[in-house]
């Protein structure tokens, strides 16, 4: 998912701090709370081979998947509650989450391009 957003080119280490800030502020919340993905159902056939199927009923965000687990509260860090995460997850819609992500991505690339041009 990160490469889909940032591209497949090499990212020089000197930009790691800016990209990490972008990931923490925009990409991670968008992926965890607003971007649905498939979760597999593992079926063992008569030969004993495990086959993964991806039914639409198992499509949900990673946050929804966490909430669907039995005893999900035990997986949270100390001081983190589902009520706190619900506020972040449901504060904006999925489309409203994508807009700032794209704008921040464009600003990140513009910043990197401008700095590279001034260095030559």
**Residue-wise pLDDT tens digits, 50-95:** 999 999 999 999 999 999 999 999 999 999 999 999 999 999 999 9
Beta strands in the chain (DSSP E): 37-38, 41-44, 50-53, 59-60
- The pLDDT of residue 1 is 76
**Residue-wise pLDDT tens digits, 35-45:** 999 999 999 99
- Answer yes or no: are the C-beta atoms of 40 and 53 closer than 8 Å: yes
pLDDT over threshold 60, residue 105: yes
Domain spans, the chain: 2-119
Q: How far is 78 from 81, CA to CA, in rounded Å?
A: 8
- Answer yes or no: are the C-beta atoms of 27 and 5 closer than 8 Å: yes
């Amino acid at each position: 998912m990160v490469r889909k957003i940032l591209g497949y080119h090499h990212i020089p280490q000197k930009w790691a701090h800016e990209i990490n800030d972008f990931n923490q502020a925009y990409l991670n919340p968008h992926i965890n709370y607003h971007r649905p993905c498939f979760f597999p159902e593992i079926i063992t056939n008569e030969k004993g081979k495990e086959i993964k199927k991806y039914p639409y009923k198992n499509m949900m965000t990673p946050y929804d998947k966490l909430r669907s687990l039995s005893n999900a509260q035990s997986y949270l860090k100390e001081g983190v509650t589902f009520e706190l995460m619900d506020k972040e997850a449901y504060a904006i819609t999925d489309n409203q989450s994508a807009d700032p992500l794209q704008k921040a991505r464009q600003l990140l690339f513009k910043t990197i391009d401008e700095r590279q041009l001034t260095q030559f």
